[in-house]
């Protein structure tokens, strides 16, 4: 019990420190998505909702965490072993934290917006708890849904560094596989916080309500499941073949270019209107749908790129265990489901314009396949 109490304290302290940093560290503010985007998402209360803005200071929080990790690595790498050694206990308390936070959001949401909960009853109550009542609950001036990406991804970074520390303290050095994995993941996470403002235009932030589904995903699924390759690599002793390293590097670079490039093109189009893509003025359909660059080739190539990024570091684990390959398999299923879900929404939102776009961009994620 004492050990779990310590884990509770560590996890809550970690989240509270990041919350305080999100509240008080200066950062550029960006406005929330336009009202028309919210209405297209099915929100009926956009006229009464006050204007919102997001403070982009996640890069500072990530940099401070990375700096602290570097300091501990120089001073005593054994300190960084602690998160991995207590992974199971932290997983348990993270689940308890996620369920409790979802319940608190459910109760406060019902009190603030009783009309949104509709008729009472067990089925409706379970639905509100699972999906959430409020779309953007704000505590102490911090949007909780936007904030929760920070403990999620920074927590994942901490677990990755801890896995490296376990291998380093146990074997005296980092394997080529682990080193490459750490580089890939650091670039991926740092890039997220560098372009944190792009999250404002994602479907999760615009439309999804903040309930157990997103809370559990942020505080449990991402930090504990997404770093499974790093924990696997602790015990992989086979040297990294040159050909495999080259394949993984090529997959990462190409996937990252596809993932970040597609998202950047859409973000610039949404925020800047007329932009230049691949050296030419952006082409659109009705001024609403981008058909230049990646978006003229496939409708969800950003999903394809992100999947390739995750596959690049999973392949570093070799074939000794199937466990690390569960993550790209899970992401493949999730992205396919999201692509179908997005397609249904866009058909309702854009009508015939979407049919024309589908004829222009024939593929969803994999050219000539899907």
Q: How far apart are CA 233 and CA 181, in angstroms?
A: 9
- What pairs with residue 54 in β-bridges? 30
Nearest-CA neighbor of 100 among 88, 111, 108, 89?
A: 108
Structure tokens at 223: 């930090």
- Count of other CB atoms within 10 angstroms of residue 36: 10
Pairing of strands 142-143, 138-139: antiparallel
Give the three-state DSSP class for 29.
Answer: strand
Structure tokens at 352: 């015939």
Burial class (CB within 10 angstroms; exposed 0-12, middle 13-18, buried 19+) of 244: middle
pLDDT on residue 324:
95
pLDDT on residue 117:
46
pLDDT on residue 342:
85
Backbone angles phi, psi at 64, to 5 degrees: -65, -40
List of residues 6+ apart from 238 with CB closer than 8 A: 318, 320
pLDDT on residue 21:
96
Whole-angstrom CA distances from 245 to 56, 177, 188, 212, 313 are 35, 8, 18, 39, 10
pLDDT on residue 24:
95
pLDDT on residue 202:
81
Structure tokens at 148: 């929760």
Q: How far apart are CA 26 and CA 32, in angstroms?
A: 18
Q: How far apart are CA 42 and CA 50, in angstroms?
A: 17
Within its chain, how far is the Cα of 212 from the centroid? Answer: 16
- What pairs with residue 139 in β-bridges? 142
List of residues 6+ apart from 214 with CB closer than 8 A: 132, 145, 148, 204, 208
pLDDT on residue 1:
65
Per-residue pLDDT of the chain (370 residues; tens, 9 = 90+): 666 678 778 999 999 999 999 999 998 988 887 644 444 444 444 444 556 789 999 999 999 999 999 999 999 999 999 999 999 999 999 999 999 999 999 999 888 776 554 555 556 778 889 889 998 999 999 999 999 999 999 999 999 999 999 999 999 999 999 999 999 999 999 999 998 888 888 878 887 899 999 999 999 999 999 999 999 999 998 999 999 999 999 999 999 999 999 988 888 888 776 578 887 888 888 888 888 888 988 889 999 999 999 999 999 999 889 999 999 999 999 999 888 888 888 888 888 899 888 888 888 888 767 6
Q: How far apart are CA 48 and CA 29, in angstroms?
A: 21
pLDDT on residue 49:
54
Q: How far apart are CA 221 and CA 95, in angstroms?
A: 9
pLDDT on residue 46:
43
Backbone angles phi, psi at 356, to 5 degrees: -65, -40
C-alpha dihedral sign at 337, 98, 317, 323: negative
Cα angle 367, 368, 370 (rounded to 5 degrees) comes to: 75
Backbone angles phi, psi at 139, to 5 degrees: -120, 125
Global pTM value:
0.90
pLDDT on residue 167:
97
Structure tokens at 9: 């304290």
pLDDT on residue 112:
79
Structure tokens at 296: 């003229």
pLDDT on residue 273:
64
């Amino acid at each position: 019990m004492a050990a779990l109490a310590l884990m509770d304290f560590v996890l809550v302290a970690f989240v509270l420190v990041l919350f305080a940093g999100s509240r008080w560290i200066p950062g550029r503010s960006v406005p929330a998505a336009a009202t028309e985007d919210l209405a297209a998402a099915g929100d009926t209360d956009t006229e009464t909702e006050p204007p919102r803005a997001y403070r982009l200071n996640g890069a500072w929080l990530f940099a401070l965490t990375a700096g602290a990790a570097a300091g501990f690595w120089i001073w005593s790498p054994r300190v960084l072993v602690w998160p991995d050694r207590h992974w199971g206990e932290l997983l348990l308390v993270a689940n308890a934290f996620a369920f409790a936070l979802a319940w608190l959001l459910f109760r406060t949401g019902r009190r603030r917006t009783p009309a949104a909960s509709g008729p009472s009853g067990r089925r409706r109550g379970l639905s509100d708890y699972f999906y959430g009542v409020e779309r953007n609950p704000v505590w102490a001036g911090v949007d909780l849904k936007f904030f929760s990406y920070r403990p999620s991804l920074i927590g994942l970074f901490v677990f990755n560094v801890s896995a490296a520390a376990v291998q380093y303290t146990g074997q005296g050095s980092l394997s080529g596989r682990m080193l490459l994995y750490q580089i890939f993941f650091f670039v991926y996470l740092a890039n997220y916080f560098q372009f944190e403002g792009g999250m404002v235009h994602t479907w999760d932030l615009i439309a999804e309500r903040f309930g157990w589904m997103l809370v559990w995903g942020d505080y449990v699924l991402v930090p504990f499941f997404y770093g499974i390759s790093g924990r696997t690599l602790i015990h992989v002793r086979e040297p990294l073949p040159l050909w495999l390293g080259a394949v993984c590097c090529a997959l990462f670079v190409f996937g990252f270019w596809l993932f970040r490039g597609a998202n950047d093109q859409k973000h610039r189009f949404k925020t800047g209107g007329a932009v230049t893509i691949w050296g030419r003025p952006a082409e659109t359909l009705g001024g609403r749908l981008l058909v230049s660059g990646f978006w003229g080739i496939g409708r969800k190539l950003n999903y394809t790129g992100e999947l390739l990024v995750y596959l690049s570091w999973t392949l570093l684990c070799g074939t000794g265990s199937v466990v690390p390959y569960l993550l790209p398999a899970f992401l493949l299923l999730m992205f396919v489901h999201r692509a179908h879900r997005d397609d249904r929404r866009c058909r309702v939102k854009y009508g015939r314009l979407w049919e024309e776009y589908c004829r222009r961009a024939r593929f969803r994620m994999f050219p000539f396949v899907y």
